Amino acid sequence: MTMAEISVFSTLFGFLLAGLWGRSLGVGLTNFITITAMAISTAASAWLFYDVAVLGHPQTHMLGTWIQTGGLDIAWALRLDALSTVMMLVITSVALMVHVYAVGYMHHDASPQRFMAYLNLFVFCMMMLVTADNLVQLFFGWEGVGLASYLLIGFWHEKPSANAAAMKAFVVNRVGDLGLALGIFAVYLHFGTVQFDALFAALPSVAGQVVSFAGYTLPVYDFVALLLFVGAVGKSAQLGLHVWLPDAMEGPTPVSALIHAATMVTAGVFLMCRVSPLLELAPLAQQVILLVGMATALFAATVGMTQFDIKRVIAYSTCSQLGYMMMAVGVGAYPAAMFHLFTHAFFKALLFLGAGSVIHALSHEQDMRMMGGLRTVIPWTYRMMLVGTLALSGIFPFAGYYSKDIVLESLFASQGSLAYLSYGVGAFVAFLTAFYSWRVIFLTFHGKPRADERVMAHAHESPAVMIFPLLILSLGAIGAGYVGYEAFVGHDREAFWQGTLAVSQTHDVIEAAHHVPAWVKWFPLEVAALGIALSWFFYRYNPALRRRLVDGLGAVYRFVYNKWYVDELYNFLFVRPARALGRFFSSGVDAGVIDAFGPHGAVALSQGIGARLSRFQTGQLPFYGAVLFAGASLVMLYVIVRGAWV
Amino acid sequence: MIGILSVMTYLPLLGVLGIALSGSDSRARLDENVKVLALFVSLIVLGLAVYVGLHFDVSGDKAATFQFVEHFSWFPSLGLTYHMGVDGIALCFVLLSALLVPICIVASWKSVKHRVREYMAAFLILETFMIGMFCALDLVLFYIFFEGVLIPMFLIIGIWGGYRRIYATFKLFLYTFLGSIIMLVGLIVLYKTTGTSSIPDLMKGAPALLSPSLQGWLWWGFFAAFAVKIPMVPFHTWLPDAHVEAPTAGSVILAGVLLKMGGYGFLRFSLPMLPQATLEYAHVVYALSLVAVIYTSLIAFVQTDIKKVIAYSSVAHMGYVTAGLFALTVPAVQGAIFQMLSHGLVSAALFLCIGVLYDRLKTRDMDQFGGVTQVMPRFAVVFMLFILAGVGLPGTSGFVGEFLVLIGTYIVHPWVALGLATGLVLGAVYSLWLYRRVMQGPMTRDAVKALSDLSRREQLIFAPLIVLVLWMGIFPTAVLSVLEPSVRQVLSPYASNPSLVAPDFSSPHHALDAPEPTLPHQDEHNEKGHQ
């Protein structure tokens, strides 16, 4: 077994062992097995990261043939290059911490074995996704993480709301997957392969070709890129297909941290970076990506301002941060997108696990209106959450500062009116982010306790098994930006990425980003500070003014609070019509038309004729048989005569 | 003269004879003996089928031809011949049939209590007809087996079925019999015009001997039988009723094998023998397939009878099959066949899952369930796995079939593929909705609280299906490589056809690189046809 196989498949073994025999193995042994599998995978990934990305030895391990027929040749393979090993490092390190945390968090649950098994399954699928050497294996991992997400959101399957959220996540993701699948088909049609290297080599062959599509013509590059992007919109919860992510918070909190913040939702960004050579040839698609990213960042940040469920606020902030990453992709700043993905994984996982610790302390209370004053009750959680929040709001020298700044600088540096607009929106979102993330801190930890006394009496700091992962992740939230800067987006970036991320021939955005005016670099930090100050003002200093403001904004506030009514819109546009159509087809068409004119009609007709022609209508079956046979014989005669004639 | 295929085909009849002759002093003992005997016979048949599979030449010179051929004169006065043989396509369906029969017998072990002898005999007769049909290489033989399947199926639903079984059998009979009669006319014309009843000869020579207009007539004649059988919208309404009334094992065979006879018919007759008509009318098939996928998926979504959901989903899945077959590219046709095999396993398993629930609660109404996962965790895993295979999750056999159909269709008709692909979303909607209502949520009903998890016998039924569904999903190449030479043979009339838009890329990955046509040129077709 090679190191690559160990890193990917150890969690598959963990999943099978824990999933099949978890019940008889017991909780302790299952925890041991799944965490060991995870630790082995992490160690192997770290070694591979060192070997591949640091020492510069990219490699591809062929495992076997998957689908091979009629010119299609799809392999099972593990592709290790700078891009995939960075992802592996992020996935395994966060996942290991989440596994350890889950031991404490799920301690009181009825079936923690099943939970740990699903976590292992998720990691396996995610690793298959990022190490895929072709688009179809990527699709395998892509749908696999979707399945794991479905299973984990609906983990508490006796809860109807959890089941609804799980199903919503799967179905909405499937809409995106539909786009990705069509993108894969289009890649095969136009480039004759689905393997990445062959695809990139074949890119020049379709230069100038167009696809006619519903009256429009699009260059092949843009057409294919947009289809693939639809998949990314679904998985990375971009505006339009974002509706599943907030609901996904029905799952246990470790899941939210791992899947719906740090790893799975970034798969869309990863996919876009993976096909960056294609995107570089698709300027129209890039503009669409930039616009969608911008809209997502803005939309999610506004909604995040108004929510009271602590996990939903963080979920919307994830959505918003993914918008940042997509914006970076849209201007061709792939290293910046990956850098933000990297740092975000640590501080967002930290924030979610911190929120989980709060929820754990308050006997599963998630509403921030029922919190407050927890600073002294759960001091360690408070400190860790502070670190995460500082990182999220982009305060120097925390991780988010470095990555968010390079994203915004790249936006500015890419030039053009759309780019400047996106910089402005990005800076505004940075302001909103600082505001709502500190709102969480103030509402949760400061002020007087609003929980009832019984809950407060039980409130306690989480056990060491939960605090330890927070400490490790907070190291990432503090240091990941500073440590990674030079390699990801600084002077060493070309040596580090080894050509896995495309760089525009005419305009190297990242290089240009280093030479933007000083105010461009300072502005995001200034608005973030302003956001924190305003948050303090409204939530600590003068809450009465805030309430008056909310009342005054009335309709606007309700619009934002109700998440721009997107769910209601979709319900009206898709869900209810689908049901109505189904009912109409079922009783109206199938029974009402096809059966009525088909078999029932034939019976009625023959009964009518039979009643007139025949007096002894006792057995029906022989009679119909006879009618049928006579009719068929006539047809037969006709055909034979005609056939001989022709 | 008599070869292994005939032994395989008629061995179950020998079993029926054994059942007829068996006797015992006690009724229970007798029933038990009959079950054991039936199972034993069906397992031998399965063993023989596996033997054929292992000795089938997949890569040599004979790969694309019919193998294990038995050919001799039967009724010389009528010019009839007895002709059996299998190519890669038939082999896979024979294996599928031989696998499902013992599973059906074990699945009925406890649930069938009256007329056990007749029940087991009916299944063995059914096996004879099914395997015979897939092996038959003579028109008359094919027709006898094709029609023969109806008789035991008719009895199984009519005698051991549910409350409205007479209505369901009647509808089944009306539709399939009418279709078959029209096909019979077609077979007679085919025989009269070409002078041969040998299917391999017809596959090679028929296009040259049939005028385009006659091809058209024949095409519709075959269409009548196969479109009803598979079934295509709007000839599908017999299927939900038949499924709902059929006993569990009847549904398993119905969904697992009988529907596939329609697809197999298209592959044996319409595609290779009537290429011009196929190209001319392919758009009709696309249209009906698209309607099938979207229309029946929406219907499945609003059903409350669990069995109807799966029945309608079968029609949707067969929509992929028909579209894939008539896309006429190697990946699409491979995908269509793979989808049929996969659906044979997956839908069979889903009907078995419903049977597990029905055996316990005697109802198929979704509202009577809810929260079953809590009392039947093992069953929940099994059911989930097959639901996922049904929605085509990668790693299961369902994905490979759908993926190949879609990609093979996309390269010639992107719009058709786009329409079909909506099934990816719609399928997830009705499948997960079904699972959610039956298996998840709070457990409120007392009857549900008393449910017991899968018994050993039930686990034994599902085990081979689980293994096969995963194996075909992860290593499908084994099956695809058996199919590929035969598929290329079926598609050979289309290899040089300009009306099939071949994707324009110079790389070695060419989607339509079927072998050179083995048929005479098109100009000669018409001349011969007019003689």
pLDDT bracket for residue B224 (50, 70, 90): very high
Residue of A nearest to B388 (CA): A147
Give tens-digit pLDDT for A137-168: 999 999 999 999 999 999 999 999 999 999 99
Between the ranges A102-106, B70-74, B338-342, where is the mean pLDDT highest?
B338-342
B457-478 mean pLDDT: 96
Collect all residues of chain B within an 8 Å Cβ-Cβ radius of residue A163: 436, 440-441
More confident residue, B80 or A108: A108
State yes or no: pLDDT of B507 exceeds 70.
Answer: no
Euclidean distance between CA atoms A308 and A440, whole angstroms: 9
Collect all residues of chain B within an 8 Å Cβ-Cβ radius of residue A581: 298
Q: Closest Cα of chain A to B144: distance in Å?
A: 17
pLDDT bracket for residue B59 (50, 70, 90): confident
Angle at A261 between CA A256 and CA A267, to 5 degrees: 120
Collect all residues of chain B within an 8 Å Cβ-Cβ radius of residue A72: 331, 404, 407, 509, 511
| Contact in structure between A639 and B189 (CB atoms under 8 Å) | yes
More confident residue, B165 or B98: B98
pLDDT for B177 equals 86
CA dihedral defined by A250, A121, A275, A256, rounded to 10 degrees?
20
Q: Closest Cα of chain A to B163: distance in Å?
A: 19
Low-confidence winner among B240-254, B298-312, B513-527 (lowest mean pLDDT): B513-527
Residue B24's nearest CA partner among B35, B13, B14, B15 is B35
Per cent of chain A over pLDDT 70 is 93
Query: Using the beta-carbon criterion (under 8 Å), do A144 and B395 form an inter-chain contact?
Result: yes
State yes or no: pLDDT of A645 exceeds 70.
Answer: no
A340, A602, A607, B480 from A612: Cα distances, Å: 83, 15, 8, 57
Collect all residues of chain A within an 8 Å Cβ-Cβ radius of residue B503: 189, 192
Query: Using the beta-carbon criterion (under 8 Å), do B301 and A175 form an inter-chain contact?
Result: no
Q: What is the DSSP string of A61-111?
A: EEEEEEEEETTEEEEEEEEESHHHHHHHHHHHHHHHHHHHHHHHHTTTSS-
Q: Closest Cα of chain B to A61: distance in Å?
A: 17
Chain B interface, mutation test: which of A16, A62, A65, A67, most B Cβ atoms within 10 Å? Answer: A67
Chain A interface, mutation test: which of B432, B474, B475, B531, most A Cβ atoms within 10 Å? Answer: B432
pLDDT for A13 equals 96
Residue B436 has its nearest CB partner, among A67, A163, A636, at A163
pLDDT bracket for residue B64 (50, 70, 90): confident
Instruction: For B392, list phi and psi in degrees, rounded to 5.
Output: 75, 45
Q: Which residues of A101-126 are buried (b: 16+ CB within 10 A; e: fewer)?
A: bbbbbbeeeebbbbbbbbbbbbbbbb
State yes or no: pLDDT of B366 exceeds 60.
Answer: yes
DSSP letter assigned to residue A131 = T
Euclidean distance between CA atoms B84 and B133, whole angstroms: 9
| Contact in structure between B339 and B324 (CB atoms under 8 Å) | yes
Residue of A nearest to B421 (CA): A178
Query: Using the beta-carbon criterion (under 8 Å), do A181 and B424 form an inter-chain contact?
Result: yes
| Contact in structure between B255 and B243 (CB atoms under 8 Å) | yes
State yes or no: pLDDT of B526 exceeds 70.
Answer: no
pLDDT for A613 equals 53
- Return mean pLDDT, chain A: 90
Euclidean distance between CA atoms A417 and A383, whole angstroms: 41
Q: Closest Cα of chain A to B156: distance in Å?
A: 17
CA dihedral defined by B223, B225, B230, B236, rounded to 10 degrees?
100
Q: Closest Cα of chain A to B525: distance in Å?
A: 14
Query: Using the beta-carbon criterion (under 8 Å), do A188 and B188 form an inter-chain contact?
Result: no
Query: Using the beta-carbon criterion (under 8 Å), do B237 and A594 form an inter-chain contact?
Result: yes
Full-model pTM: 0.92
Query: Using the beta-carbon criterion (under 8 Å), do B440 and A181 form an inter-chain contact?
Result: no
Give tens-digit pLDDT for A206-238: 988 998 877 788 999 999 999 999 999 999 999
pLDDT for A596 equals 74
Element holding B75 (H helix, E strand) = strand B67-75
Residue B189 has its nearest CB partner, among A64, A202, A643, at A643
Collect all residues of chain B within an 8 Å Cβ-Cβ radius of residue A182: 410, 417-418, 421
Residue B241's nearest CA partner among A339, A119, A600, A27 is A600
Other beta carbons within 10 angstroms of residue B108's beta carbon come to 24
Query: Using the beta-carbon criterion (under 8 Å), do A182 and B421 form an inter-chain contact?
Result: yes
Per cent of chain B over pLDDT 70 is 93
State yes or no: pLDDT of A626 exceeds 70.
Answer: no
Collect all residues of chain B within an 8 Å Cβ-Cβ radius of residue A624: 174
* Interchain CB contacts (distance < 8 Å): A and B: 213
pLDDT for A632 equals 58
pLDDT for A643 equals 46
Chain A interface, mutation test: which of B232, B238, B276, B299, most A Cβ atoms within 10 Å? Answer: B299
Q: Closest Cα of chain A to B388: distance in Å?
A: 9
State yes or no: pLDDT of B188 exceeds 70.
Answer: yes
The residue assigned the tokens 């990691």 is: A123
Residue of B nearest to A174 (CA): B425
Q: Closest Cα of chain A to B531: distance in Å?
A: 9
Query: Using the beta-carbon criterion (under 8 Å), do A67 and B303 form an inter-chain contact?
Result: no
A18, A140, A170, B490, B503 from A144: Cα distances, Å: 18, 6, 11, 35, 31
Q: Chain B contact for A184, CB < 8 A?
A: yes
Q: Chain B contact for A492, CB < 8 A?
A: no
Q: Closest Cα of chain B to A581: distance in Å?
A: 7
Collect all residues of chain A within an 8 Å Cβ-Cβ radius of residue B175: 599
Q: Chain B contact for A65, CB < 8 A?
A: yes
Residue B334 has its nearest CB partner, among A69, A184, A642, at A69
Q: Chain B contact for A579, CB < 8 A?
A: yes
A44-52 mean pLDDT: 96
State yes or no: pLDDT of B178 exceeds 90.
Answer: no
Sign of the CA dihedral A139, A140, A146, A150?
positive
State yes or no: pLDDT of B408 exceeds 50.
Answer: yes
Chain B interface, mutation test: which of A574, A585, A621, A641, most B Cβ atoms within 10 Å? Answer: A585
B194-204 mean pLDDT: 90
Q: Closest Cα of chain B to A317: distance in Å?
A: 28
pLDDT for A560 equals 84
Q: Chain B contact for A585, CB < 8 A?
A: yes
B132-151 mean pLDDT: 93
Q: Chain B contact for A16, CB < 8 A?
A: no
Q: Closest Cα of chain A to B503: distance in Å?
A: 7
Q: Closest Cα of chain A to B208: distance in Å?
A: 15
Amino acid making up residue B65: T
Collect all residues of chain B within an 8 Å Cβ-Cβ radius of residue A190: 505
State yes or no: pLDDT of B494 exceeds 70.
Answer: yes
Query: Using the beta-carbon criterion (under 8 Å), do A189 and B503 form an inter-chain contact?
Result: yes
Q: Chain B contact for A643, CB < 8 A?
A: yes
Give tens-digit pLDDT for A429-453: 999 999 999 999 999 999 888 888 8
pLDDT bracket for residue A1 (50, 70, 90): confident
pLDDT bracket for residue B502 (50, 70, 90): very low
Low-confidence winner among A185-199, A619-633, B55-69, B399-413 (lowest mean pLDDT): A619-633
Residue B298 has its nearest CB partner, among A167, A186, A578, at A578
Chain A interface, mutation test: which of B167, B219, B440, most A Cβ atoms within 10 Å? Answer: B440
pLDDT for A507 equals 84
Q: Chain B contact for A157, CB < 8 A?
A: yes
Collect all residues of chain A within an 8 Å Cβ-Cβ radius of residue B237: 590-591, 594-595, 598-599
